[in-house]
Amino acid sequence: MSTTITHFINGAETVGSGDRTQPVYNPATGEATGELRLANRADIDDVVAAAKTASESWAETSLTKRVAVLFKFRELLAENVQELAKVVTSEHGKVVSDAAGEVGRGLEVVEYACGAAQSLKGEYSDQVSGGIDVFSFRQPLGVVAGITPFNFPVMVPLWMAPVAIVTGNAFILKPSERDPSASLFLARLWKEAGLPDGVFNVLQGDKEAVDGLLTHPDVDGISFVGSTPIARYVYETGTQHGKRVQALGGAKNHAVVMPDADMDLAADHINAAAFGSAGQRCMAISVAVAVGDAAEGLVAKLKERAEAVKVANGMEPDADMGPVITPQSKARLQKIVGEAQEDGAALVVDGRDLVVKDHENGFFVGPTVIDHVRREMSAYREEIFGPVLAVVRVASIDEALEIINSNPYGNGTAIFTSSGAYARAFTRGVKVGMVGVNIPLPVPVAWHSFGGWKDSLFGDHHIYGPDGIRFYTRGKVVTQRWPEPKQASGASFAFPSN
Ligand code: NAD
């Protein structure tokens, strides 16, 4: 049965006035399960108008009351982790435990936002000149929009909304068209938590909705997470229209394995980081860089582990990995693996033709490991965003660093080693935003901020954590004097000096 997936504007679900729709699929079965409404110009104007009105009173609401809503939202979210996880699995395909993990990482950001009273404290300088004091504080931007990717339909919106809202903004979420239902679940929880209507809204749609938000004069800030070409476009278009923009892009994450690493630990973690969520994570490890004689032991262990991954409908409790998001995604990665083979790479594990019993129409691909991948191959150059692990063999840590640093992406990376000296040289020398030492997915906890370098991030601010607070607010500095009655004014035509 196909359900209508609506917008959520000014506290209510609405089909809006657009007449375009798009099907939403369950990738494990290939069935269309929902019909998504796509916003038109009138829907965009409606949601921005509702958010603008709501932002004015919300910014005036005391910080204590705003934080109280965040605490209530935190409780509701914690109570609904499993239910929300199943909504994610039904449209994304990832296994339920992984979906619950994504809700958990989003919950961390809500908890960080609950501490906004501390994060928003200003600064004060007493008596900077005779009788003059200076204080600085931060105020909300107004209306901010979040444009999010399919691969984390709960976590990525929660990287943005809690911080934007607690700092006094109204928020418009434009979720991915592929798995939009979780956004409505979140909207209902915000309402139940007591958030005033219009402070959290959902606008469903495609490029038309995104362009409408990027150019609307009443939208003040844009947070984007998605692929690099769209991130670049969103950054350029949004900033040309005078908005503050942070746009997080794609990735190609390398894990370097030194010969002195614990090979079982490295293989276990690289396997999980390459194939968890079917490789559809912006922090997924897609390249293992084997240094020196690390390769022989490592590749054999990776083969063993990849072959043991249980691929199934993500709703099944013992599934390790579900399907990829679309048939197009499956076809694209099948093509790239074929090209690598033609170009002389060695196919160690080939998951291209995997069929899952009773799910013949599902978009499944099995874990795939390709050895002897070289930099000119499409399997190295492209962000595959699927369960494909490329192994590149190098002679030294310097060569590993050179490869990573000349890659256009710079989101995440990791080194597996038992040497502090190697780890230190790597963490200092690598041109990547988030680095793990014996940790394959170094996603920062919520009170640090998340962000890549190079083509993985356009804009000055990382997302959530302290950078999130800064992104969603602007600074104001007040220099004040309260002169005694009839005191000499001290005014001068010279530039004031202290
Ligand atoms: P995507 O770029 O296709 O879509 C992201 C958002 O942009 C969606 O809301 C979509 O509706 C919108 N969009 C798509 N095409 C558009 C266009 N032409 N004009 C305007 N808007 C458009 O990304 P995706 O396939 O949903 O997600 C996967 C990508 O996201 C991968 O590249 C992955 O690395 C990246 N990602 C990055 C991070 C990070 O933190 N850096 C996190 C998660 C995902």
Distance 409 CA to ligand 1 centre (A): 15
Note whether residue 447 is domain-resident. no
Distance 222 CA to ligand 1 centre (A): 14
Residue 495 is predicted with a pLDDT of: 85
Ligand 1 test: best mutation among 282, 286, 325, most atoms within 8 Å of CB?
A: 282
Asked if the model's pLDDT at residue 497 lies above 90, the reply is no
Examine the domain organization and report whether 186 and 299 are in the same domain.
Answer: no
Locate tokens 């039904």: which residue? 90
Examine the domain organization and report whether 391 and 320 are in the same domain.
Answer: yes
Q: What is the CATH number of the domain that holds 225?
A: 3.40.605.10
Examine the domain organization and report whether 7 and 109 are in the same domain.
Answer: yes
Give the percent of the chain with pLDDT over 70.
100
Order of all β-strands in the sheet with 412-416: 346-349, 368-371, 388-394, 285-291, 253-257, 412-416, 434-437
Note whether residue 318 is domain-resident. yes
Residue 401 is predicted with a pLDDT of: 98
Number of H helices, E strands in the chain: 16, 23
Residue 1 is predicted with a pLDDT of: 63
Round to whole Å and give the CA distance between 473 and 139. 5
Note whether residue 144 is domain-resident. yes
Count of CA atoms in the C-beta half-sphere (13 A) of 204:
31
Examine the domain organization and report whether 139 and 214 are in the same domain.
Answer: yes
Examine the domain organization and report whether 68 and 173 are in the same domain.
Answer: yes
Residue 492 is predicted with a pLDDT of: 86
Sign, CA torsion 65/70/75/76: positive
Average pLDDT for residues 481-492, to the nearest whole number? 88
Locate tokens 């690099």: which residue? 228
Number of folded domains that form the chain: 2
Examine the domain organization and report whether 149 and 198 are in the same domain.
Answer: yes
Asked if the model's pLDDT at residue 498 lies above 90, the reply is no
Examine the domain organization and report whether 293 and 236 are in the same domain.
Answer: no
Query: Ligand 1: residues within 6 Å at CB?
Result: 147-152, 156, 174, 176-177, 206-207, 210, 225-227, 230, 248-251, 282, 383, 385, 411, 452, 456
Residue 163, CA distances (Å) to 166, 211, 449 in order: 5, 24, 12
Which DSSP symbol is given to 140?
E
Round to whole Å and give the CA distance between 74 and 56. 24
Distance 104 CA to ligand 1 centre (A): 22
Average pLDDT for residues 216-237, to the nearest whole number? 98
Examine the domain organization and report whether 230 and 317 are in the same domain.
Answer: no
Note whether residue 491 is domain-resident. no
Note whether residue 450 is domain-resident. no
Q: What is the CATH number of the domain that holds 424?
A: 3.40.309.10
Round to whole Å and give the CA distance between 84 and 96. 9
Residue 200 is predicted with a pLDDT of: 99
Round to whole Å and give the CA distance between 147 and 168. 19
Asked if the model's pLDDT at residue 334 lies above 80, the reply is yes
Examine the domain organization and report whether 80 and 35 are in the same domain.
Answer: yes
Distance 202 CA to ligand 1 centre (A): 17
Residue 2 is predicted with a pLDDT of: 82
- Ligand 1 atom closest to the Cα of residue 206 is 11
Q: What confidence category does residue 120 fall into, taking pLDDT thresholds of 50, 70 and 90? A: very high
Closest to 458 measured CA to CA, from 211, 214, 234: 234
Closest to 287 measured CA to CA, from 394, 396, 380, 374: 380
- Ligand 1 atom closest to the Cα of residue 234 is 20
- Mean pLDDT for the chain? 97
Predicted TM-score (pTM) of this structure: 0.97
Task: Say how far residue 480 (Cα) sits from the centre of its chain.
Answer: 41
Average pLDDT for residues 55-69, to the nearest whole number? 98
Note whether residue 240 is domain-resident. yes
Round to whole Å and give the CA distance between 115 and 189. 20
Condensed to tens digits (0 to 9), the pLDDT of residues 410-447 reads: 999 999 999 999 999 999 999 999 999 999 999 999 99
- Ligand 1 atom closest to the Cα of residue 282 is 34
Catalytic residue among 219, 222, 282, 415: 282
Closest to 177 measured CA to CA, from 207, 157, 220: 207
Residue 486 is predicted with a pLDDT of: 86
Ligand 1 test: best mutation among 88, 154, 230, most atoms within 8 Å of CB?
A: 230
Residue 490 is predicted with a pLDDT of: 83
Note whether residue 490 is domain-resident. no
Give the percent of the chain with pLDDT over 90.
96
Examine the domain organization and report whether 357 and 469 are in the same domain.
Answer: no
Examine the domain organization and report whether 358 and 243 are in the same domain.
Answer: no
Range of the domain at 339: 253-437
Of 448 and 496, more confident: 448
Residue 364 is predicted with a pLDDT of: 98
Asked if the model's pLDDT at residue 165 lies above 70, the reply is yes
Distance 260 CA to ligand 1 centre (A): 38
Residue 488 is predicted with a pLDDT of: 84
Condensed to tens digits (0 to 9), the pLDDT of residues 190-212 reads: 999 999 999 999 999 999 999 99
Average pLDDT for residues 446-474, to the nearest whole number? 98
Note whether residue 213 is domain-resident. yes
Examine the domain organization and report whether 97 and 191 are in the same domain.
Answer: yes
Establish whether 114 is a catalytic residue. no
